[in-house]
Each structure stands twice: as C-alpha cells, then as structure tokens.
Amino acid sequence: MPNIKVTEDNADERTLFLVVEEDNNIVGFTRCEGNKLSRFKHKAEFGICIEKEYFGYGIGKVLLENVLMWADNVGIKKISLTVVETNIKAINLYKKYGFIEEGVLRNDRLHKDGSYYNTIIMGRFLEEDKK
C-alpha cells in the first residue's frame, strides 16, 4: 500500500471533508455534508472519489470508516449516497457497512460511449445499527 496521509477539514461542524494524499498529490477524497435546518439536521449526503490507480488499496474503506465515526460523534443518524450501478465493488463495500438500496434513478448517467447507466440511491440509518 502506498504511504498515504489523510487530512481533515472541519470548517463547518455539519460537514466533513477528508483528503487522501501521497507525495503531496491528492489521490482521493470524501465529503459528507449535513444540514442545519431542524427537519434535515439528522442526515447527511456522502460521496467518495478515488483515482483509478489507487483502487484496491482500501482507501474507500478507510474513508468510509472515518465518515461513520464522525457521523456518530456529531449526531448524524442517516447517511445517503448515490453510486453508479456498474461500481459493484463500491456497492458491496457500502452494503458491508450497513447501507441498503433505497431507490434507482433510471438512465441517470450518460457514458462517453453514449450508453446510459442507472444510479443507485443507498442509505444507512445509524440508530438501526445500535439495536
């Protein structure tokens, strides 16, 4: 595994932004953004982006685990994400950590070859994990 440094930016208490660097180059990041409105303050939107050449090193797992710990610490109960249907490794990782499929956005993404892909909406309600 490459020597990787994860740095955190918490300028807003309801948002977590983590950057993964190797040799001062950004190789991945995650953003988990909450909301201050009372009816939405229990939830956050989440996404991960990793450079292809760094797939398979467990970076996504490390980022996801950090997000889940942060969410628990700041009182986020529901985390939602979207993932393209062809990203099976990511879908399996999310399922391993308790995310379930909540819906599908049909023909939501246009591939460079002109074909369309569905986007899967997934979510995890953290209080269910503590029952």
Check residue 13 and give its pLDDT. Answer: 77
Q: What is the CATH number of domain 4-125?
A: 3.40.630.30
Instruction: Choose between 108 and 15: higher pLDDT.
Output: 108
Q: How far apart are CA 84 and CA 114, in angstroms?
A: 15
If you search the block for the tokens 């209080």, which residue do you land on? 127
Q: Has residue 124 got a pLDDT over 90?
A: yes
pLDDT value of residue 50: 94
d(CA 12, CA 102): 28
Q: For the chain, what are the domain ranges?
A: 4-125
> Under the phi-then-psi rule, with left for phi > 0, alpha for psi from -120 to 50, and beta for the rest, what region is 48?
beta
Express each pLDDT in 96-120 by its tens digit: 999 999 999 999 999 999 999 999 9
Would you say residue 3 has pLDDT above 60?
A: no
- pLDDT value, residue 39: 86
Q: What is the pLDDT of residues 30-71, one digit of tens each?
A: 999 888 888 888 999 999 999 999 999 999 999 999 999 999
For residue 72 the two structure tokens come to: 């628990």
Q: Is 54 buried (19+), middle (13-18) or exposed (0-12) by CB count in 10 A?
A: middle
Phi then psi dihedrals of residue 10, to 5 deg: -120, 55
State the residue for tokens 């049909």: 106
Rounded distance between C-alpha atoms, residue 17 and residue 11, angstroms: 9
The pTM (predicted TM-score) of the whole model is 0.85
| pLDDT given for residue 41 in this prediction | 84
Q: What are residue 45's DSSP bridge partners?
A: 33, 80
**Quick one: which H or E segment has residue 108?**
strand 100-110
